[in-house]
Amino acid sequence: MRYQGYAARIEYSDDDGLFIGHIAGIRDVIGFHGESVSELRGAFEEAVDDYLATCEKLGREPQRPVSH
């Protein structure tokens, strides 16, 4: 799953019945979750948008994923 140049690392938690994701390739820890793939995608996009908005508000350059 990708959005605005960021990729998601996703796992499924049987205990919680949720997909749990984190933005991959950056040091900042940004997590999101959803009960379905469509809910997870929406949460991922919202997390990226919130991260970029927070960085802008703080006057900080957002981290970009490491390219290989």
Rounded to two decimals, what is the model's pTM?
A: 0.90
User: What's 41's DSSP letter?
Assistant: H
52 is written with which tokens? 């970029």
Q: Is the pLDDT of residue 67 over 80?
A: no
Query: Which residue, among 50, 47, 55, has the nearest Cα to 21 in the 3D structure?
Result: 47
Beta bridge partners of 8: 23
According to CATH, the topology of domain 2-58 is Double Stranded RNA Binding Domain (3.30.160)
**Above 90 in pLDDT, residue 45?**
yes
Average pLDDT of 2-11?
96
pLDDT at residue 66, as a whole number: 75
Residue 65's contacts (CB-CB under 8 Å, 6 or more residues apart) are 5, 6, 7, 23, 24, 25, 26
